[in-house]
Chains A and B, each alone.
Chain A
């Protein structure tokens, strides 16, 4: 089975840096995604990691440690529009030979002026 843990809520100030952690336990792990979801809107893809290390994409970076079952999403130079939920999703092999994404419950980030 799969188990994914993220903090429920975080707050930060405009212009600051925030790190959102995700820990997971899963069989057949084969990659980790981060999605952003504004309230009642569709999730949108932010980043993907399959190897250990840091992936940087503009103001957003994502880190993965497979041995520790740990990832984080780093958001720099926070803007008000970054207020959203951030979903960690683990890709796992199924015994059918295919794969599926399993989503965490998300971290609600509130950015204040």
Chain B
């Protein structure tokens, strides 16, 4: 158990819908990262927040957005969902904000878009 929690564990929704994924980092970690993992691809970095502020952006679509709240939990919002958005979404946390230290991953949310 890494100490990072994610909810929900599974999510099934239809195309065009909007969903929100939630992540709580390990106690003491200020950075939160979001990753997408599809069957045929590796972990794709989406976005990083540090202490409430966006720090780095990866391959995040404009239909996706995220935020980190004062209590350091983070939410990833996915809208206008497409079939290709079906994937495992992982949240990770780390102590530092530089983006280069060891990251601890949550159990993931499996999103299925039908």
Chain A interface residues toward B at CB < 8 A: 30-31, 33, 40-45, 48, 87, 89, 91, 94, 96, 98-106
**Residue in B44, B97, B99, B106 whose beta carbon sits within 8 Å of that of A42 in the complex:** B106
Is there contact, CB below 8 Å, between B90 and A43?
A: yes
- Max count, chain B CB within 10 A of own CB: residue among A30, A43, A102, A106: A43
Chain B interface residues toward A at CB < 8 A: 2, 4, 35, 41-45, 48, 55-56, 58, 88, 90, 97-100, 102-108, 110
**Residue in A40, A44, A99, A103 whose beta carbon sits within 8 Å of that of B43 in the complex:** A103
Knowing A40-B110, A101-B45, A105-B41 are in contact, say whether A45-B55 is a contact too (CB < 8 A): no
Is there contact, CB below 8 Å, between A99 and B105?
A: no
**Residue in A41, A96, A101, A106 whose beta carbon sits within 8 Å of that of B103 in the complex:** A101
Which A residue's beta carbon lies closest to that of B91?
A42
List B contacts of A96 (CB < 8 A).
56
List A contacts of B104 (CB < 8 A).
45
List A contacts of B106 (CB < 8 A).
42
List B contacts of A44 (CB < 8 A).
2, 105
Knowing A44-B2, A103-B43, A106-B42 are in contact, say whether A98-B98 is a contact too (CB < 8 A): yes
B21 to chain A, nearest CB (A): 14
